[in-house]
Amino acid sequence: MHSSSSSSVQQARQALGRRLREIRKDSGMTARALAALAGWHASKCSRIENGRTAPSDSDIRSWTLHCGAQDQTADLIATARNIDGMYVEWRRIERAGLKRAQENALPLFERTQRFRIYQSWVVPGLFQTAAYTTAVLNTVVNLRQTPDDVAQAVAVRMDRQRILRSGHRRFAVLVEEWVLRTVIGDTSVMAEQLRQLLTVASLPSVSLGVIPMGRPRGFGWPTESFTLYDDRQVNVELVSAHLTVTQPREIHDYAVTFNELSAVARYGADARSLIAAAIDALG
């Protein structure tokens, strides 16, 4: 598992383990006795209670059965499954197709009022043109061997962009300058995308910052792409997986990182000049 994913997932597993320990102790049963009744190795209860082993659905059913807490089974299983969903490989997310993956993200976008987006890889999805998205998703299909429903997935993403002009949402967006210089698709696709970026940046709900290349950084180091959805959740884009952060302390860490990155970005006319220079470089 990617190192940046370990903290959230491990803390959640430890919290579940503490809850299971309390259930066991309330029943008056020792860990050794529970393991014997369940047919487990003597150390398994300790591993689960300390968050070193993730309990399966059947583990939880056995635990609550022998501890007389079957009324808590469904809630505990849901909690464990939610932990499993914090770190999900892209292949698992996309195995039903890219269209389904795009659709699954829509409820989160619709209920969010304040977006803070940092992109070190590509132009943020909410700002992408159809041609740019097509090029990005075609690369995903080729790399991950996912079902090829790119056209349908692009249509879903384009429709999702309506949230830029609806409600009272705010979008604070940061991109590294090399995102502007990395040609996705071909030069015509990239030029259209950069012009689109200028258009979207003019919306009153959008604040766009570009972090210039070659600028000394005492802080605000480049990092993995991430999005803060209000103060409730952070989604992080890893190379192989998608990480969901919900621990308040870690959400705060990402908010601090976003603020540090914001401090080295350029805005307004300066940001537009960086985008225009990237367009000119395409020839």
pTM: 0.78
State the residue range of the domain holding 19. Answer: 3-84
The string of pLDDT tens digits covering residues 245-259 is 877 778 899 999 999
Based on the fold, state whether residues 260 and 231 are members of the same structural domain. Answer: yes
Asked if residue 258 and residue 182 are part of one domain, the reply reads yes
Q: Which of 167, 170, 133 is nearest to 150 (CA)?
A: 133
The candidate with the shortest Cα–Cα distance to 244, out of 252, 234, 254, 253, is 234
Together in a domain, 158 and 20: no
Last residue of a domain, one of 84, 110, 136: 84
Tell me, yes or no, whether 163 and 257 share the same domain: yes
Contact yes or no for 257/225 (Cβ under 8 A): no
Q: What is the pLDDT of residues 186-238, one digit of tens each?
A: 999 999 999 999 999 999 999 999 999 987 887 778 889 999 999 999 999 88
Residue 170 and residue 184 in one domain = yes
Mean per-residue pLDDT of the chain = 91
Say if residue 215 is in the same domain as residue 265. Answer: yes
Mean pLDDT of 265-281: 97
* Domain containing residue 80: CATH number: 1.10.260.40
Residues 192 and 230 in one domain: yes
Residue type, 21: R
Split into its structural domains, the chain has a count of: 2
Q: How far is CA 93 from the centre of its chain?
A: 12
